[in-house]
């Protein structure tokens, strides 16, 4: 049994794709262990994608991740990391295989709908970042609308 971190990015949340994306993981046989809708700040986005800090698209990536609510999730099951990456598909939706989330729902590499951890070590780090380290950063938001706080 393995756990992985999956995050529906702001484009997926705005387009109302939380349900279809969750359905794909559930249909495959994974168990949703934790989920929260949250708005992340730049510090968390930069830590999450720290490995890309020297890439030319890093600023754009952080802008994008902080542009709206994300849906952070922990999924568990057999080979959860690799299986989840397979369901998500290649980073660039143009290259993703039909039937994967990115092939079916996304057009562009910068707005590719969903993130999934790339190794068990990344999963552990990202779950801690979003579910242990993040409470102080997080605010609950309504599912619809663009940011009216519930509390």
| φ, ψ for residue 99, nearest 5 deg | 100, -15
CA distance 134 to 34: 14
* Angle, CA of 24, 112 and 82, to the nearest 5°: 50
CB of 121 to ligand IDP, least distance (A): 14
Active site residue 115: yes
Residue 3 marked in a binding site: no
Residue 79 marked in a binding site: no
Nearest-CB residue to ligand IDP? 91
What's the count of helices (H) and strands (E) in the chain, helices before strands? 7, 4
Residue 9 marked in a binding site: yes
Q: Which residues bind ligand IDP (CB under 6 A)?
A: 57, 60-61, 91, 109-110, 112, 115, 118
Judged by beta carbon, residue 38 or residue 61, the one nearer ligand IDP is: 61
Q: Could you please report the per-residue DSSP string of 100-129?
A: SHHHHH--BTTB-SEEE-SSHHHHHHHHII
User: Which residues are documented as binding site for ATP?
Assistant: 9, 57, 85, 91, 102, 112
User: Which residues are documented as binding site?
Assistant: 9, 57, 85, 91, 102, 112
Annotated active-site positions, please? 115
């Amino acid at each position: 049994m393995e756990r992985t971190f999956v995050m529906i990015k702001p484009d997926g949340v705005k387009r109302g794709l939380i349900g279809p994306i969750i359905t794909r993981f559930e249909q495959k046989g994974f168990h949703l262990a934790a989920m929260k809708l949250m708005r992340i700040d730049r510090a968390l986005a930069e830590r999450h994608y720290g490995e890309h800090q020297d890439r030319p698209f890093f600023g754009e990536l952080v802008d994008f991740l902080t542009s709206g609510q994300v849906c952070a999730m922990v999924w568990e099951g057999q080979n959860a990391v690799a299986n989840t990456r397979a369901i998500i598909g290649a980073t660039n939706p143009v290259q993703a295989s039909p039937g994967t989330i990115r092939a079916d729902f996304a057009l562009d590499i910068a707005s590719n709908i969903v993130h999934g951890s790339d190794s068990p070590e990344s999963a552990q780090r990202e779950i801690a970042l979003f579910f242990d380290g993040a409470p102080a950063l997080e605010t609950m938001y309504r599912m619809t609308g663009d940011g009216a706080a519930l509390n």
